[in-house]
Structure 1
Amino acid sequence: MKIFNTLLLLTFTCVASQNTSTTFLGRNCPPDGFDSLNEFDFEEFISARWYSIEQKKVLYQPLSQFYCVYADYELADFCPFCLGRPKITVFNSARKGSVTGEVRSVNFRAVVPFPRRHPARANVGPRFLPLGLSRSTNYWVVDAGSYTDILANEPRPSGVPYEWAIITTGRPNREGDDGTCYTRGGMWIFARDPEPDPAVIDAVRNRATELGLDVSQLLPVEHAGCVY
């Protein structure tokens, strides 16, 4: 029952973060021009495990579970309501209390509802919900690239693997520090390595700030000593 309630809370929190009035929540939010990536290699993104390096504390993943957090994605074989759109199985894992604490893991399903127009947006939720019928999009990859390019402050050239990513639950419609914005449903900095160079983390945080995101909402996830 606890896992079931967590799954429902995740789904409804993410959807609610999309549908709340931005005028009421923040005059400056979302930032002008804020969008998911328009040029996006979907298969490259899901080709290997992602580790959460920093993330926003949310109801469905409190600070007590900021240990050994990672996500695995792969193409799903069956989705009766997806109507030919890309569908993904999602496995999320974390530990509670410490890097040796109890494993908390959940399985989700996701579908990319508009693969041509918005290739970096997905609906994510429990496996028992007909995601192919949903109109909300609650998982946006808003930037991604290689370690080399982010350290050089260069845009991602075509063909370079994704080694870091910034993810939000839709448009950031709540105002935080200094007029920057955040999403109630969650924000993440992902990396292919569980412990990337601190300079990479700093550079990705700077990039998130440039996008108008409130990076004070992003808290570190502990990975030192984790066994995955």
Structure 2
Amino acid sequence: MKQRTALSIAAGVAAAAIGGALIYSRATRPPVINPKVPEPAKPVELERYLGKWFELARHENRYEKGLDAVTAEYELREDGRIAITNGGRQGGPKGEHSFVEGRAIVADEETNAKLKVSFFGPLYTGDYWILDHGDEYEWSIVGEPSGRYLWVLARDAKPEPAAMEAILKRVEALGYDRWALRLTRHI
């Protein structure tokens, strides 16, 4: 595996949330797909959220342009922060693998549904809101307050069609345009 600088690779699920910070010009930010981002629907048990997630869909962004087989792994560190490893393959599910590492802290300890993530050091942090998740933590919908970024995650890279449709309907119920999402290809 080859590690690239954080700016040259798609940072995966959480790193693009940093787009809310002024990392790049307004002209390169994705358009708003939800002008009224809802508060997270329910609390998050961090221990159950940890582990590996597969990205099923995303609102395309500069950091992940052209990436498929995108995954995000979350692990609790000894200092209480969350270690994040996001990876993907350029040009298709069998393309060259790249990854980036970051960290997160809980920003809302009452619900654990709002995190602050950093892949670019302490000066560049972004919001990572777990807007909703399955009761068994089998899927998750992640966004941030600007309404420009959205990720649909699951524990299974290829959920059953009925399960995928149910998740996408939940995306719509949260106020997002599901047709603005790019489906992520997995092997």
Do both proteins adopt the same fold according to a TM-score greater than 0.5, normalized to the shorter chain? yes
Q: Percent identity?
A: 25
Per-residue CA shift, 1:120-159, capped at 9, x if unaligned? Answer: 111111263278xx6xx510111111xxxxxxxxxx4xxx
- Distance, in Å, in 1 between the alignment partners of 2:97 and 2:6 is 16
Partner of 1:52: 55
Matched, 1:167 2:142: yes
Note closer, same or farther for the CA distance 1:50–1:12 as it changes in structure 2 (3 Å cut): closer
Q: Could you list the runs of 5+ residues in structure 1 that have no partner in the other structure?
A: 79-85, 146-155, 173-182
**One-letter code aligned to 2:168:** R
> What is the deviation of 1:211?
1.2
1:49 is paired with a residue whose SS is strand
Partner of 1:88: 82
Contact 2:55 2:70 in 1 (8 A): yes
**One-letter code aligned to 1:207:** R
- Distance, in Å, in 1 between the alignment partners of 2:69 and 2:18 is 25
Partner of 2:128: 139
Partner of 2:122: 129
- Distance, in Å, in 1 between the alignment partners of 2:98 and 2:64 is 10
TM-score of the aligned structures, taking structure 1 as reference length: 0.67
More helix by percentage: 1
- Distance, in Å, in 2 between the alignment partners of 1:4 and 1:143 is 27
Partner of 1:99: 93
**One-letter code aligned to 1:39:** P
> What is the deviation of 1:11?
6.6
**One-letter code aligned to 1:165:** S
> What is the deviation of 1:170?
2.5
- Distance, in Å, in 1 between the alignment partners of 2:91 and 2:153 is 21
2:21 is paired with a residue whose SS is helix
Contact 1:10 1:125 in 2 (8 A): no
Partner of 1:41: 45
Larger C-alpha radius of gyration, 1 or 2? 1
Among 175, 182, 188, which residue is 2:151 paired with? Answer: 188
**One-letter code aligned to 2:122:** L
- Distance, in Å, in 2 between the alignment partners of 1:211 and 1:195 is 22
- Distance, in Å, in 1 between the alignment partners of 2:121 and 2:130 is 24
- Distance, in Å, in 2 between the alignment partners of 1:6 and 1:109 is 18
**One-letter code aligned to 1:14:** G
Partner of 1:30: 36
Partner of 1:61: 64
- Distance, in Å, in 1 between the alignment partners of 2:175 and 2:16 is 24
Contact 1:109 1:127 in 2 (8 A): no
Contact 2:17 2:144 in 1 (8 A): no
Q: Could you list the runs of 5+ residues in structure 2 that have no partner in the other structure?
A: none
**One-letter code aligned to 1:125:** S
**One-letter code aligned to 1:60:** Y
> What is the deviation of 1:14?
3.0
Among 14, 28, 36, which residue is 2:20 paired with? Answer: 14
